Structure 1
Amino acid sequence: MIIKVGFDYEDDMEYIKCPAKVGRKINQLQWGFWEWLYDRNNEHGYWFEEEEDGHINYGVSYRTDAFIYWLNNIKFKKGKIVARLIETPKTQPKKAIRF
């Protein structure tokens, strides 16, 4: 199944290819990804720090590759690739999500 992933701008989009059983639950999976991504106990490469008035603020910077990493290595960690980024889909996306 092809999933269209949109960002802030209308023309800024990427595509994920995944099995239908993953694609059908993509919205629920997105919420699980956000819970993992924003959990300060998780050491991942998407954190950044900004200092403001002597205080350190934490944020995240990510694109679709972070979601795919989470799907393949955290959520479905059986050693099988369940999602991958594709350049241009050959068929119309069945679902869409936004980050």
Structure 2
Amino acid sequence: MTRSRLFRHENRERSHHTRRVYAAFELAYTFVDFSAALCFVAGSICFFYESLMTPGTWLFLIGSVLFAVKPTLRLIREIKLVSMGDTDDVASRLDG
């Protein structure tokens, strides 16, 4: 798999199944994005109160982890979409 095959629009439009996979990953990506933003807003509010500093810090950490999940989801999605179109490559490796 070469880098040039990743992140191509054609990968998601190849079939009904690839469109469904793309849509599922987009829903997950949006959920993670929204959750991360919510953690940062809640964490920011917590910092207004001395007694909530520790929960605020945890919310910032969770939000940061969620933001790290976003590009991971995109990469996994693209690898899955590319692999869904590699049937000829798989067949040639099995014949060899």
Using structure 2 for the length normalisation, give the TM-score.
0.28
Higher helix share: 2
Q: TM-score, normalised by structure 1?
A: 0.28
